[in-house]
Structure 1
Amino acid sequence: MNVAILEDESLSAHRLEILLVDYDSSIKVVAFLSSVAEAIEWFRDQTPATQPDLVFMDIHLEDGSAFGLIEKAKLTIPVIFTTAYDSYAIQAFKANSIDYLLKPIDENELAAAIDKFKWTRQKQYANMMAPSKWSTLLNWQDSPGQASYKDRFMVTIGTKIKSVGVDQIAYFFYEEKTTYLTTQDGQNMVVEYSLDKLTNLLNPYQFFRVNRAYLVSLSAIQSIHTYAGGKLSLTLYPSSRHEVLVSPDRLNDFKKWLGK
């Protein structure tokens, strides 16, 4: 994926580049643009074959706003806005972008925004839509009945940032006011999401919230044991820190989920 970054603070621009490459090493930043004037000239020199797939734009620039650039350059490329201002501009223009991120940019929010872009682009191609029809893409994106699920999480381990694919995750659990993910090789990592939020972000065919503390992948369930009264206990792989019981009020849904 080729991206362009419109940002008048060089440190912010290069930090964003680092986060992008950590998210996906195949992402290439093809241009760093520091002003509206520079960006207008650069975009006018691009052909359909050389224009980026996605643009990250700071909203407030020294010589104008990103919104002015979009209008003057007649851009039809999907945009993720970045800004330090949680103001009316965000709400006013959110519908005309893929997403917006508040500075300092959070790696998990960045990953979710790119996942959203990838999902819309995949659906765009699936529906035989012209790539330049951005407004149609956005109308499609907001249509009911569509679902987008995360396919990776950004986690911090010491001073390092790591991207963990959903297919590497066995389960999530909540302990002492902290949410962890456990990978298939037994590593526990902190994630900045509640289990309630994760339930909405993950594909329900792959993950199920069995109780208040555990959200498990189907592939992690090694065996199921029954107890008197119809209770179910799960043996997970890798082994969990706690006994994992299916909550009584989730039993029927859990059994239906197993049978899908």
Structure 2
Amino acid sequence: MNVLIIEDEALSASRLQSLLYRYDPTVKVLKILTSVTESIQWLGNQGNAKPDLIFMDLHLEDDLAFKIIDHLQLTIPIIFTTAYSEYALKAFKANSVDYLLKPIDSDELVSAVKKFALFHPKSNPVPDMSALIAMYQSSVQEPFKERFLASAGAKLFSIKTVDIAYFTIEQKATFLKTYEGRHLAMDYSLDKLSQLLDPKDFFRINRSLIVALNSIRTIHTISAGRLQLELQPSIGQEVLVSGDRIADFKHWLGK
């Protein structure tokens, strides 16, 4: 079986690939793509092998994955993967689209693939993408990530967003720090995280740090009106709010 993975989170893509190989070592993953633009180009290239099944992350780095299907009028069977639970499921169920919730469970993956092999028609009509997008958008009340996949060495962890104190850039890599003090690596950039986090709870105070409201222990006004933060847990270095973000930061604190 030829499989295509469309996923912008490297850890999630790697886990999915490993689970597929564990289920069936003969599975061939043709490619791992990370964006709507890249996917449209790859799938539109007649020289590339046609996948039998696509695993497609719902939210990609540049747009909703629905746009790939709509643009290419895809008839290839698709299993969506998503970190959003009840908000998106109404849209999927109404259109008979299969889905898996992240972090993907091995048994649920096997069940989905078996269902595809047994019941999916060889010729799959193109779903009504405009209706699916409209239903999805109307059903999403809180389109923010509830948990993130992170790593420490070879181990993977699913971390609830409410347990995260802040996100940092360290030596060009992104890390999260939990209130319990766990320091874990992740694949998202801070720009991407700014789109996925609830702005009521998180604020990007400078180029290398996004903080949770509950992580701020003390705010000090220093020279020239600059703001310095004490975070819990401690970050071990001076934490300053960028000058061009101070006004927005104060507004955020007062909401």
Instruction: Pick one of 111, 115, 130 that aligns with 2:83.
Output: 115
Rounded Cα–Cα distance in structure 2 between residues aligned with 1:19 and 1:184: 30
Matched, 1:221 2:197: no
Q: Give yes or no for contact 1:233–1:245 (8 Å, CA) kept in 2.
A: yes
**Greater RCO between the two (CA within 8 Å, min separation 6)?**
2
1:257 Cα offset (Å) = 0.6
Secondary structure of 1:204's match? coil
Secondary structure of 1:210's match? strand
| Aligned residue in 2 for 1:16 | 16
Report the TM-score, using the length of structure 1 for normalisation: 0.55
Q: Give yes or no for contact 1:210–1:216 (8 Å, CA) kept in 2.
A: yes
| Aligned residue in 2 for 1:132 | 94
Task: Read off the aligned partner of 2:88 and give its amino acid letter.
Answer: T
Matched, 1:170 2:165: yes
Describe how 1:69-80 pairs up with structure 2 within 5 A: 80=55
| Aligned residue in 2 for 1:242 | 237
1:117 Cα offset (Å) = 6.0
| Aligned residue in 1 for 2:248 | 253
Secondary structure of 2:217's match? strand
Rounded Cα–Cα distance in structure 2 between residues aligned with 1:159 and 1:220: 28
Rounded Cα–Cα distance in structure 1 between residues aligned with 2:142 and 2:210: 19
Describe how 1:129-208 pairs up with structure 2 within 5 A: 131-133=93-95, 135=128, 136-141=131-136, 148-208=143-203
Question: How has the CA–CA distance of structure 1 residues 227 and 92 changed in structure 2, closer, same or farther, with 3 Å as cutoff?
Answer: closer
Question: How has the CA–CA distance of structure 1 residues 139 and 173 changed in structure 2, closer, same or farther, with 3 Å as cutoff?
Answer: same
1:8 Cα offset (Å) = 6.2
**Residues paired across the two proteins, number:** 172
Q: Which runs of 5+ in 2 are unaligned?
A: 4-14, 28-48, 58-65, 97-127
RMSD of equivalent CA atoms: 3.7
| Aligned residue in 1 for 2:69 | 93
1:139 Cα offset (Å) = 2.8
Q: Give yes or no for contact 1:154–1:162 (8 Å, CA) kept in 2.
A: yes
1:176 Cα offset (Å) = 1.4
